[in-house]
Structure 1
């Protein structure tokens, strides 16, 4: 059985490049976590910033991971079915996947917009970023909600571009 060509848009290539650079942040998270453990348990001098920073950075990378997985075609797929059908059927399964993905990411974008708006703008209209409520009391929750919104917009655009490219492939055209 021949393989279905992988659809790789320009946006996918940019996301993959950014993702490879951002993955280095995991090393920073490990380093500051090690620093915190050393300061807390060896020197008995814990920090107020490491835990919150590590969670924010890790959460941000996790959110971006969805766009990266879609860009690198590493998302979950039922290969038992997908690998045992014809190339034309694979194209139809991909189209179905992209439509469902677009539907889901569009709904997530709307929910992320509402969540981000509430964390940036108070009900009475004042601009005020949500804070963590910890001793450090950063604006990380508001920033993270904005990152979720931006990432979901990007994922929605990815699904649109992949859907267009898949339809072109099905109709005998070129990949994007």
Structure 2
């Protein structure tokens, strides 16, 4: 029953903006809409630090590291979401003025570059990320959180998902007669 309702909702969203939602998009949306809740946590942690430092005169040692850690996670997952929304950097001085077949060539070149870059980053970072995770590498500070052990593998996962999302966007956009601007507010419905 719940699956049927979710499918109907996805069909409604897809028909509203002509961007079908497939499993790749669902993963991107799930990650980005889950991770967005880290932002208020960062704000609360920073408010706690302000209270402890200036009111109680007992500054913490862990707030800055935790804030950077959580913000790094938001940043990485934000790249996946930005790719899904097609809001990454694009030089439109030529793109907007050429025919759709030429735009498709530009899109293909862009996707090939993204996938090649992702493959190089994953290939180059796999050993270090694996070693950091297996050894549970820590930040080597007073609080000593496992930031490298979590962020290095997460970076590779996010780069991979950005590449997958880019290929997905290319496949979806290839069929469109002229590229449509995506309205991110449709994701919230």
- Normalised TM-score (structure 1): 0.80
- In the comparison of the two structures, how many residue pairs are matched? 160
Contact residue 36 and residue 50 of structure 1 kept, 8 A:
yes
Q: How does 1:33-48 map to 2 (within 5 A)?
A: 33-48=46-61
Match of 1:19 in 2: 32
Residue 167 of structure 2 corresponds to residue 160 of structure 1:
yes
Give the C-alpha shift of residue 118 in structure 1: 3.1
Give the C-alpha shift of residue 78 in structure 1: 0.7
- Normalised TM-score (structure 2): 0.75
- Give the structure with the higher percent helix: 2
Match of 2:98 in 1: 85
Match of 2:148 in 1: 141
* Aligned partner of residue 137 in structure 1, secondary structure: coil
C-alpha root-mean-square deviation of aligned residues, in Å? 2.2
Unmatched tracts of structure 2, length 5 or more:
1-17, 178-189
Match of 1:123 in 2: none
Paired with 1:88 and 1:6, the residues of 2 have a C-alpha distance of 19
Match of 2:66 in 1: 53
Give the C-alpha shift of residue 168 in structure 1: 6.0
* Aligned partner of residue 77 in structure 1, secondary structure: coil
Give the C-alpha shift of residue 68 in structure 1: 1.1
